Amino acid sequence: MASRNIPIKYTEIFINNKFVKSIDGKVFSVIDSANEQKICEVQEGDEADINLAVEAAKNAFRFGSPWRTMDASKRGSLMYKLVELASRDKDYLARLETLHNGKPLAESQADVEFSIGCLRHYAGWADKIHGSVIPSDGPHMTITRKEPVGVVGQIIPWNYPLLMTAWKWGPALATGCTIVMKPSVNTPLTTLHMAALSKEAGFPDGVINIVPGRGSTAGNALSKHMDVNKIAFTGSTAIGKKIMKVAAETNLKRVSLELGGKSPLIILPDADIDEAVSFSQDAIYVTMGQCCSAGSRTLVHESIYDEFVKKSVEAAKKAEDRRSI
């Protein structure tokens, strides 16, 4: 298990490569879910802080800026450097993830490795994104050119804080966008540490900005901001609907939504029953079932239904026995 004695290095808002306090001085408490004790206080961003972060991201994306004129291969090199730094700090990141999220350390360690792999994957794509030459009639040349969207707002949940950070950062940075991210108030610590690593890696001022805060204030301000060109959100279906509505009512910003749902497993008569039971239990119990792609439905053919249910009950009891040790 993770030690509770973990130094907390970063608790402030990250704008323009600097850690700063919130404009109105508000803070919120991050709670250790294992014992419900306060881990630390983090600066709470609001609309005014979002405005500053968006302005920084917009400035970093301006024509002629260091980020905008940077070679694509150099963007990839910066991302590879971030991968290197995250690998250096992976033990600390895993312990910190478990501290503020509550998941078992082994799961956090896996999440860190997946996060590093994700960023490494997108680093390799940075200089491999290109348009097409399209045949056209007459003495003409028709080409397409793929360009970055611009300022991207990103809102992530608490169940996979570090992995969600990597999933959101990876494609945005590889394509040359700038970022304003709002992590969950429950789990902002690993994202803030990654922000510090991005500065150490050499990303220019304003490319990555982190504003911890509440969805009803900071999240809403980010979703409706007229200078944000895209919102990427992972969370509930209800909030996803609100974000889509706000995006449409403002500047018709692009929207990517990863929402909750039901993910069925289908068990057919020729399946290995023992293996199917094991897979179905892993699918629903991972992260205590708090996963948007959890296998929360299991559809079993009637000819093997009774046997499957019996073995599933036995497996669940064994899992409960292990948890009580």
Helix ranges restricted to H, the chain:
47-60, 72-88, 90-101, 105-125, 161-174, 189-201, 220-224, 237-249, 273-285, 305-324
Phi, psi of 43 (to 5 degrees): -60, 130
Query: For residue 144, how many other CB atoms are within 10 A of its CB?
Result: 9
The position carrying tokens 């809102």 is 155
- Burial label for 237, CB within 10 Å (0-12, 13-18, 19+), is exposed
What's the CA gap between 231 and 225, in Å, rounded? 10
Beta bridge partners of residue 178, listed in sequence order: 151
Which amino acid would we find at residue 82? L
> Coil, strand or helix: which one is 259?
strand
Is 291 an active-site residue?
no
> Coil, strand or helix: which one is 273?
helix
Is 292 an active-site residue?
yes
Phi, psi of 266 (to 5 degrees): -115, 115
> Coil, strand or helix: which one is 30?
strand
Which amino acid would we find at residue 33? S
Active-site residue (options: 84, 200, 258, 291)? 258
Q: Are strands 208-210 and 178-182 parallel, antiparallel or unpaired?
A: parallel
Q: Are 101 and 159 spatial neighbours (Cβ–Cβ below 8 Å)?
A: yes
Cα end-to-end span (Å), the chain: 14
Q: Are 200 and 226 spatial neighbours (Cβ–Cβ below 8 Å)?
A: no
What's the CA gap between 52 and 29, in Å, rounded? 23
Active-site residue (options: 292, 302, 314, 320)? 292
Residues designated as active site: 258, 292
